[in-house]
Amino acid sequence: MPTLLERQRELRDWVLTPNRIPPWPNAGLHRDNTLGGLAATLAGTFPVVQRLVGEACFIGLAQAYVRHQPPHEAPLLRYGAGFPAWLAGQDVARQLPYLADVARLEAAWTHAYHAAEATPVDTGALAALGDAVEETVWRLHPSHRFVASPWPVDRIWRANQPGSDDAAVDLDGDRDTHLLVVRPAADVLLIRLSPSAFALLMALGAGLPLGSAWDNALALDAGFNLEHELTGLLAAQVFIGVELP
């Protein structure tokens, strides 16, 4: 007689493989509940993607993704981290070329929303550093994520929020979006950055000292104003630490 674990694995394999004979009567009810529940979890993480493609299409996509990449751990708060990359290879993403990047933004938003709390650096930190400023290492809030896209994904996201009265997004006139997604307080922020400020933060997020990160920004914009950018980012509570190596 098969063990309970063997029966569970048999049922799992059947749920995740279409067009197989049910292992026992009424197994279809379990399959429908499992696929439906996981599809609902993905819909909760990617509501804008669902709105863009329609509910029926999204359910089909979600169930296909569940079969491709079932969850391997509980809880399910972060399930779907691979969905944007998988979505990019589907036919619907060729019809809506910004769709996968919108999904990346929604995944970043979910990460930021559930990330750990942290105390931001005081806004006077920059003035207190003196001559050692270029050697300092700046630590970003643990909720941060970077999203870059050739499409205005933040405006697409905002235009598809419940109750939004935003006008239609101009897909042709508003390209090359660079975003910092972060939750320093109660709300998740979507902060638009210039390419040079984005390069600065990417370098700081990778652990480079400020001087090296500044060089990355200057390579894109010779007139990059470091003090102005850092002052704004400090005010937005993006950093949680400034340290000397």
Give the chain's domain count.
2
**Same-domain pairing of 89 and 126:** no
**Same-domain pairing of 56 and 152:** no
**Whether 157 contacts 49, CB under 8 Å:** no
**Same-domain pairing of 88 and 22:** yes
pLDDT of residue 87: 97
Higher pLDDT residue, 19 or 216?
216
196-217 per-position pLDDT tens digit: 999 999 999 999 999 999 999 9
**Same-domain pairing of 89 and 163:** no
Chain position carrying tokens 């509910």: 55
Would 103 be classed as within a structural domain?
A: no
Quote the pTM value: 0.85
pLDDT of residue 7: 47
**Same-domain pairing of 127 and 218:** yes
Q: What is the mean pLDDT of residues 40-45?
A: 92
pLDDT of residue 171: 82
Non-local (6+) Cβ contacts of 162 within 8 A are none
pLDDT of residue 11: 44
Would 157 be classed as within a structural domain?
A: yes
Confidence of residue 71 (pLDDT cuts 50, 70, 90): confident
Lowest mean pLDDT among 44-58, 76-90, 145-159, 218-232: 76-90
pLDDT of residue 88: 97
Confidence of residue 113 (pLDDT cuts 50, 70, 90): very high
DSSP 14-60: HHHSTT---SSTTHHHHHHHHHHHHHHHHHHH-HHHHHHH-HHHHHH
Sheet holding 189-192, edge to edge: 145-149, 177-182, 189-192
Among 161, 205, 217, residue whose Cα is nearest residue 180? 205
**Same-domain pairing of 42 and 9:** yes
**Same-domain pairing of 50 and 133:** no
Would 110 be classed as within a structural domain?
A: no
Confidence of residue 127 (pLDDT cuts 50, 70, 90): confident
DSSP-derived secondary structure letter, 245: -
Would 102 be classed as within a structural domain?
A: no
In SS3 terms, 92-159 reads as HHHHCCCHHHHHHHHHHHHHHHHCCCCCCCCCCCCCCCHHHHHHCEEEECCCCEEEEECCCHHHHHHH
Would 155 be classed as within a structural domain?
A: yes
Both tokens of residue 161? 């929020």
Q: What is the mean pLDDT of residues 93-114?
A: 96
Would 105 be classed as within a structural domain?
A: no
Final residue belonging to a domain, choices 36, 63, 96: 96
pLDDT of residue 173: 67
Both tokens of residue 32? 């429908």
Q: What is the mean pLDDT of residues 170-176?
A: 77
- How big, in percent rounded to 5, are the helix, strand and coil portions of the chain? 50, 10, 40
**Same-domain pairing of 37 and 126:** no
**Same-domain pairing of 121 and 194:** yes
Confidence of residue 18 (pLDDT cuts 50, 70, 90): low
**Same-domain pairing of 132 and 214:** yes
**Same-domain pairing of 132 and 220:** yes
Task: State the average pLDDT for the chain.
Answer: 85
**Same-domain pairing of 144 and 224:** yes
Would 135 be classed as within a structural domain?
A: yes
pLDDT of residue 212: 96
Q: How far is CA 44 from the centre of its chain?
A: 14
- Structural domain range at position 28: 1-96
